[in-house]
Structure 1
Amino acid sequence: MTRATGCWTCRVRHVKCDSETPSCRECSSRQTNCHGYGPRPVWMDGGTLEAAERSRIKASIKENFRRVRKRQNQSRQRSRVPQPAAQAEPQFRGTDARRARFASEDRLLSPSIPLLQSITYSLDSITAYDNLQQLACDTSPASEPILFYPAADNVALFRQPTASEDNSVGNNAYEASLLMHYFDQVFPWQFPYHNPQSRTGNRGWLLQLLTKRGPLYYATISLSSLHQNAMRGINQESLQSQKAYDRHSTALQELCEFLRSEKSAELHQDELLLAEFLACSTMLMSFEVLGGGQSDWEPHLNAVYSIIIPKPPTTFLDSECWKTDNHMCYPSEDLPHLKTCGTSAGLEFLYANAIWFDIISCVSTGKAPVLPYKSWLAIKKLKMEDVMGCNNRILSLIGDIAQLRLWKEDMDKQGLLSARELVGRGQGIESQLEEEIMKLSSEKDEVCPLPNVFPTVMKSQANWISHIFALGALVQVHTIVSGPLPYLPEIQRTVQKCIDLLSARPCRCSLQGMVWPLCVLGCMAEPQSQSFFEELVSNMDKEYKGLGNSSTVLQIMRGCWGLQMGGRKDCTAAMSELNIHALLV
């Protein structure tokens, strides 16, 4: 095993490792034994010994967290100036009461809506950090999954202010600054190709939901706080970062409260509730991606699936905002129309996110898309390039490729794989990709000056981004049909085309949202081309100060190149071998 994959302790925990010697920071900061980077330990057997060691590690980290939290509480108590209870910081208010109420629940009731039965968050999967194992919604042993059931009382997703609580955003100057940091810095990091002059360009719906101070609010400021700390070079063990995790925990607590309540049955009837739930899930996934995106994002995506699947794409066409031909969805001063149009634009944005995550995650999971992506992407007014940079046609073909991979694996397992049928299916997708690439290459750049406040995508840039994704998809088809062989002429040609395009990158176009094609193409680069991708992604990691999963992409590419010396490996196979479950967004 190489140090690039991290120490054995971090590997069994599925967390990002900095590979420092003699002990990594992830282990030393939590005062647990770092098993180093040598040969595979005897206990790493995939069975009882590994389970026992994992339990020991978790218990050690949990105990260390209790000690740290106790010291922090004592320190805060010593430095705290006596003040009326009503002036306490809102993000901490009510937490103890909620924990006490959840701890006193004797039993859980039946689910409020059937589709939520399928949503389970185990304490291992809900967080990449062990300190979140103290979630208030944990009413079952740590080894058992938590089901979202309604509580005895009805808890609204949008909390109403109490007599002792001022819910205005400006009540806490620091939290207000975090919201500003989110809109100015974090949102462009999450969505570098978002077009502010598109139908989904008006972010007023998001601000409206944030003022409700529900789980979305806490998920957003926790993400913003962690991003801000990283930009300032504040390490994860600091008190500031601990507060970010506290807020993240609060978001999860309140989301659990809502999903336990009878109010959850109204998700499909109330667009505001639906929008906040989807937005909160997006923030929680981004929180994981910020730290490398190697684990713990899947439960949130599964929750999104369970909400979206029962709602067919045709329901969007009933919205008045969808019936208009206006380029931008800026509602009028009429309040009912304001709510309908603004929320519909928000849902359009959030559904585009869900479809994107669903299709892009397939390269990591090795599965096919869960959502009916063809139906969604066939909606002409749902323009993925305005949200994610890549157009609907290319994204739909990437979904088809995931379907092709799964079909090939299933047929192979059954001993029924027909090489002729595989080639035929692959050529069908390949010809469509080639046609789209020709269109993208031939279309002339269009000059469309846009404001410089947010990263924007002109048509020329959207074409360039779609072109890169199309080349990544083309390499995927070649590896599925012909095998993951970097020396194949068709793979060499495609990788070289990508290198040429990247070398001529538009100056205003960020690479932040390009990790999926860079990883797919980089893994299939010949040795003489590997340095190009390695240098490119390394510079990305430095430019973005380690934010996001560029370091994870670097780890996957290097691991894949090493594995190719002993056999045929592509991006998906390499992630499986390296035990990396990355969300490449």
Structure 2
Amino acid sequence: MDIDLPSGLRGNSVRSSNGCWTCKLRRKKCDEKHNVCGICASLEITCYYDQDKPEWMDGGARQEEMAARLKREVKEGARRRGERPVPPSGDRISFAEATIGEWEVLARHHPRVLSTSTSMADRPRGAADAHTDVMESRHEASAIPPQRGPDCTLTRMGARESMAIGRSDTVLLMFYMEDLLPFTFPFYCPSLLEGGKSWILDMLISSPVVRQAALCQSSYFFSLARGTADREGAWDTVLKQTRDAFEVLRQSLQVIGNSSITEHLHGAVRILASIMQVQRFEIAILSFNNCRAHLNAALALFKQLLDSAGSDQEADPQSSFNAILARLGPLSWSLPAQCAEIPSAEQTAFRFSSTLLIFDDIIASMLLRQPPSLHKYHQSLLGSSVNGPENPINLEAVVGIQNWVLLQIGEIVVLDAWKQQCQSTGTLDVMELVQRATIIKNSLEGHLTRLETSSIVTSKEASSLLNVFTADYCQQSKARTSQIHVVTRVWAHAALLYLFVVVSGWQPASADVRYHVDRMLELLAHQISTPALLRTMVWPFCIAGCLAEPAQELYFRDLVEALQPPSIFGTVRKALEIMENVWRNRSASDAASCGIAACFKSQGELVLLV
């Protein structure tokens, strides 16, 4: 199939017993035409039609290398045919161009999953409703009165066209809510007084765009839970749900792209949420080919949303962000005694998706060695202090990392990009480099010291009577806060390692490098409550592993082997693959040119380990 799956989940059979070896490797149905099959000819790639099995078809590294080479040939062939390339994430492009255009690129490269020629009769139910889903936003923004009270939710739902959900979809959506979501975001536990996770249920019921994005993820993981009894049937379901998700997104993007985003504010937020969900899904199955296209589309949409707040807000991103939240209201309902107001589903979705987008943008920019696209928003949205109510974006609440760490990693990315530019022009001032790096280093070390010496303080919400329904809430809250401290410390040590490499180059024997790698190993081995939490620290884990000494390799391998079953923890195993490649090439590495980004780029893709 067209989505790359973890090797452990791929069947051993091929699509055609007499087809070319290229199609066998790519797992395509070959038309068996000699000497060049029609599939390879149309893609302008090398068709291997020897009778004898090629030496590179060894089921190991050489086969993986050939698969990567063929992927590159497919992309090069697309460029020769004049297909539209995906623009760099740093380019300033229009929303319609970044969304519809890039998703059409995906459609060309994934014809089975992204069927752009699907007729109305063949479209999934969600795609047929995509126009309604987006157009409803105009009604929600203008027709619903800013009323308060328990009936407000019913008013909103009454304004929407009812959408039937089949029994099988209900099972998958409950699996998403109860199992997949807590697994994917173990630190996400919003306050009961703010509606908890009800906004997700609201979006799943009311929005075909969001629902299809969730269903494709649920189908994938649910099929893994079922085992291998009906592999073909299970993967047919996964493909169908994935195709439906892309089709719904494409339809919705066309509606918004042809008009002003202010007319479809609620629909635009649902699309943003869906893109981020699809991004997480493809990363989970280790399909990184589309990461940049997804990220570019989400970035363009986010910027367009903030720009729509008005020119008077341009100087203050936080004001623009809050203005969008206000326009996504009114609050959905309040308790009878007016003691709590619940944000609307779109308000919470916008905050949640924006958090993931800023997070992904920083990590992707580190790999691309260019300033984060949203860097100008960082200070205003993330703040310079430990998380507090003044920060519109709270990374700790969503991904378990305190804001200050990602804020400083963003500054290191900017510093690295500046250094590269200066080196290319021969104008690098080493004194300025050290001066700027020292400011970042002092900030990271200061926050890290305070975190290591501070006592754990749980939220006052622990005393709420609502928590009687969760008997061990206080203990869970304290344990969660404790683990957030551990995860944040791991990320802080990795940030310092990254900074040292940017300033001093690849120096794995350095005393500073050795100290931070040792501290990270200690935290990962002894202070995380469950091995599964390693999924939230894949990026720092990979950085520490790449800089590890030979004697420490076994510890990193053991941490990965503890995660079972392997198919569920694909990103962690991808990180180990990157480490193994660095370890194999220690003696051949050029210390002057080696860097953190180079370790990830050796995989030939934008490997976004989030």
* CA distance, structure 1, for counterparts of residue 229 and residue 104 of structure 2: 24
* CA distance, structure 2, for counterparts of residue 132 and residue 368 of structure 1: 32
Aligned to 2:164: 168
- Residue type of the partner of 2:133? L
Aligned to 2:115: 134
Residue 415 of structure 1: how far off its partner (Å): 1.2
Residue 502 of structure 1: how far off its partner (Å): 1.5
Q: Contact 2:176 / 2:214 at 8 angstroms: preserved in 1?
A: yes
Aligned length in residues: 495
Aligned to 1:289: 283
Aligned to 2:447: 436
Residue 341 of structure 1: how far off its partner (Å): 4.2
- Residue type of the partner of 1:583? L
Task: Please give the secondary structure, in 1, of the residue aligned with 2:609.
Answer: coil
Aligned to 1:554: 576
Q: For 1:115, which of 78, 82, 95 is the aligned residue?
A: 95
Residue 48 of structure 1: how far off its partner (Å): 7.8
* CA distance, structure 1, for counterparts of residue 9 and residue 587 of structure 2: 23
Q: Contact 1:218 / 1:250 at 8 angstroms: preserved in 2?
A: yes
* CA distance, structure 2, for counterparts of residue 320 and residue 55 of structure 1: 44
Cα 1:53–1:208 shift into 2, 3 Å: closer
Q: Does 1:216 align with 2:238?
A: no
Task: Please give the secondary structure, in 2, of the residue aligned with 1:584.
Answer: coil
Task: Please give the secondary structure, in 1, of the residue aligned with 2:112.
Answer: helix
- Residue type of the partner of 2:481? K
Cα 1:307–1:122 shift into 2, 3 Å: closer
Aligned to 1:155: 131
Q: TM-score, normalised by structure 1?
A: 0.73
Aligned-residue CA RMSD in angstroms?
A: 4.3
Task: Please give the secondary structure, in 1, of the residue aligned with 2:533.
Answer: coil
Residue 205 of structure 1: how far off its partner (Å): 1.8
* CA distance, structure 1, for counterparts of residue 219 and residue 73 of structure 2: 39
Q: Contact 2:539 / 2:609 at 8 angstroms: preserved in 1?
A: yes
* CA distance, structure 2, for counterparts of residue 115 and residue 374 of structure 1: 24
Cα 1:135–1:236 shift into 2, 3 Å: farther
Task: Please give the secondary structure, in 1, of the residue aligned with 2:173.
Answer: helix
Q: For 1:27, which of 25, 28, 31 is the aligned residue?
A: 25
Q: Percent identity?
A: 21
Superposed CA deviations along residues 456-505 of structure 1, whole A, max 9, x for unmatched, are 76322221111111011000001111112211111001101111112222
- After TM superposition, the structure 1 = structure 2 runs for residues 263-282 of structure 1, keeping only pairs within 5 Å, are 265=259, 267-268=261-262, 270-282=264-276
Task: Please give the secondary structure, in 2, of the residue aligned with 1:132.
Answer: coil
- After TM superposition, the structure 1 = structure 2 runs for residues 200-211 of structure 1, keeping only pairs within 5 Å, are 202-211=196-205
Q: Contact 1:18 / 1:24 at 8 angstroms: preserved in 2?
A: no
Q: Does 1:496 align with 2:507?
A: no
Q: Contact 1:426 / 1:477 at 8 angstroms: preserved in 2?
A: yes
Aligned to 1:363: 366
Residue 383 of structure 1: how far off its partner (Å): 1.9
Cα 1:183–1:20 shift into 2, 3 Å: closer
Q: For 1:402, which of 413, 420, 436 is the aligned residue?
A: 413
* CA distance, structure 1, for counterparts of residue 109 and residue 162 of structure 2: 32
Q: Contact 1:362 / 1:402 at 8 angstroms: preserved in 2?
A: yes
Q: Which runs of 5+ in 1 are unaligned?
A: 1-9, 57-112, 139-150
* CA distance, structure 2, for counterparts of residue 440 and residue 515 of structure 1: 21
Cα 1:309–1:551 shift into 2, 3 Å: same
Q: Contact 2:416 / 2:502 at 8 angstroms: preserved in 1?
A: yes
* CA distance, structure 2, for counterparts of residue 425 and residue 199 of structure 1: 43
- After TM superposition, the structure 1 = structure 2 runs for residues 159-558 of structure 1, keeping only pairs within 5 Å, are 167-169=163-165, 172-197=166-191, 202-234=196-228, 238-261=232-255, 265=259, 267-268=261-262, 270-310=264-304, 311=306, 312-318=317-323, 331-332=334-335, 341-371=344-374, 372-378=377-383, 379-446=390-457, 451=470, 458-507=480-529, 510-540=533-563, 542-543=564-565, 545-558=567-580
* CA distance, structure 2, for counterparts of residue 47 and residue 159 of structure 1: 39
Structure with more of its chain in helix, by fraction:
2
* CA distance, structure 1, for counterparts of residue 191 and residue 234 of structure 2: 36
Cα 1:387–1:19 shift into 2, 3 Å: closer
* CA distance, structure 2, for counterparts of residue 377 and residue 225 of structure 1: 34
Q: Contact 2:199 / 2:344 at 8 angstroms: preserved in 1?
A: no
Residue 213 of structure 1: how far off its partner (Å): 4.4
Q: Contact 1:349 / 1:387 at 8 angstroms: preserved in 2?
A: yes
- Residue type of the partner of 2:437? G
Identify the range of structure 1 (264-273 vs 306-315) with the bigger mean alpha-carbon deviation.
264-273
Q: Contact 1:219 / 1:251 at 8 angstroms: preserved in 2?
A: yes
Task: Please give the secondary structure, in 1, of the residue aligned with 2:366.
Answer: helix
Residue 128 of structure 1: how far off its partner (Å): 8.2
